[in-house]
A = this chain, B = another copy of it.
Amino acid sequence: MTDPLPFGSTIGILGGGQLGRMLSVAASRLGYRTHIFEPGANPPAGHVADQVTTAAYEDRAALEAFAASVDIITYEFENIPTQALDILEAHRPIHPNREALRVSQDRLVEKRFLQDLGLATAPFAAVDTLSDLEDAIATTGTPAILKTRRFGYDGKGQARIKSANKAESALADMAGAPAILEGFVEFSREVSVIAARGLHGDVACFDPGENVHHEGILRTTTVPAHLTASQRMGAVLLAAQILSALEYVGVMGVELFVTDGGLIVNEIAPRVHNSGHWTQNGCAVDQFEQHIRAITGLPLGDGQRHADVVMENLIGDDMDKVPTLLRSAETALHLYGKAETKPGRKMGHANHIRPKSS
């Protein structure tokens, strides 16, 4: 059993968005400092970090100086260039590990990984050419969704195929990128499990949250979710199985569909996850602190929930709701300090808190 990272150490965080920002605040609660690496100017995480490096992921000297200034490295997003990881990993441990990134950076690799674990996924097929796509549609039926294998988030890089004759235009939307066709799943609810695995193999999960998406972007997460006790247990066990298979260290978001036939894994994210933001106001240890605990070798929080929460994302013009939210007695507001409001941009979230019901 290795000792935990000493208090006062510095955690390097790749990515300076809202997730890095909230990770940085959580690290501070445990007595750690953070150093943010982010190509974009004025990153939200920089407002609450000890140090910030503004540099490209191709800047070897900046990456090496960053690595030299920190004790361990983590990240807020999964699409970090491989070459940057190679440079960093030569100097400092990176958590979660490369295998988790390899699997989650590519939708096809991820689906096959889940399938190999015996977990249910939507029907899928790899699509590189129009003929692949035609075959794939024969497998999945329509409607289906064509997605780029890499670099998709918040519904970007996706095209719905309502009928087979729309295949060609959908493929054109992929702009030549390798793609995957996913069949539609008839589900009654979308839930997600925020799970953590520590350096010593210990696993802890938060209560599953029930998610509502709109136009490919998460809108609300509600705890407790409407799940039976066995569904709840199934969701947690399945998440634990994924983490263990990857020898994962850190927090992972596992999105699930609840269907009549059981739970289907939609996707996994090797990082803190938007659907876990409710934990900031519902748990003693939130997902951000849980991630920091996991990667530093501290004991994990057990995920116990002490309140009910509805997390509401504030996207683009939802910022107009802020004056009202500020007047709500039950609402904890979390703004991200982004300089500009844009349509589809996540600007903050509100956690609506109620005394615990069950």
A302 contacts B329, CB within 8 Å?
Answer: yes
**Contact in complex: B353, A330 (CB < 8 Å):** no
Alpha-carbon distance A299/B330, docked complex (angstroms)? 14
Interface centre among A29, A34, A336 (most CB of B within 10 A): A29
The residues of B that contact A335 with a CB separation of less than 8 Å are 7, 29-31
Given the known interface contacts A284-B281, A353-B306, the answer about A25 and B8 at a Cβ–Cβ threshold of 8 Å is no
Residues of B within 8 A of A24 (CB): 48
Instruction: Say how many copies of this protein the assembly contains.
Output: 2
Q: Is A271 among interface residues, defined by CB-CB distance under 8 A?
A: no
Contact B355 A329 (CB under 8 A): no
A306:B355 contact, CB within 8 angstroms: yes
Chain A residues with a Cβ closer than 8 Å to the other chain, count: 48
Contact check, B25 vs A333: say whether CB atoms are below 8 A apart: no
Contact of B293 with A329 in the complex, beta carbons under 8 Å: no
Chain B residues positioned under 8 Å from A354 (CB to CB): 306
Contact B329 A301 (CB under 8 A): yes
Contact call B31/A337, Cβ cutoff below 8 A:
yes
A331 within 8 A of B: yes
Q: Is the C-beta of A1 less than 8 angstroms from some C-beta in chain B?
A: no
Query: Is the CB of A209 closer than 8 A to any CB of chain B?
Result: no
A17 to chain B, nearest CB (A): 13
The interface residues of chain B lying within 8 Å CB-to-CB of A353 are 284, 306
Given A25-B25, A306-B355, 19 extra CB contacts under 8 A: A7-B335, A8-B339, A30-B333, A31-B336, A31-B348, A33-B47, A33-B337, A47-B49, A281-B284, A284-B330, A284-B331, A284-B353, A299-B326, A301-B329, A306-B307, A306-B330, A306-B353, A355-B356, A356-B356
Q: Which residues of A contact B (CB under 8 A)?
A: 7-8, 21, 24-25, 28-34, 46-50, 281, 284-285, 293, 298-299, 301-302, 304, 306-307, 323, 326-337, 339, 348, 351, 353-356
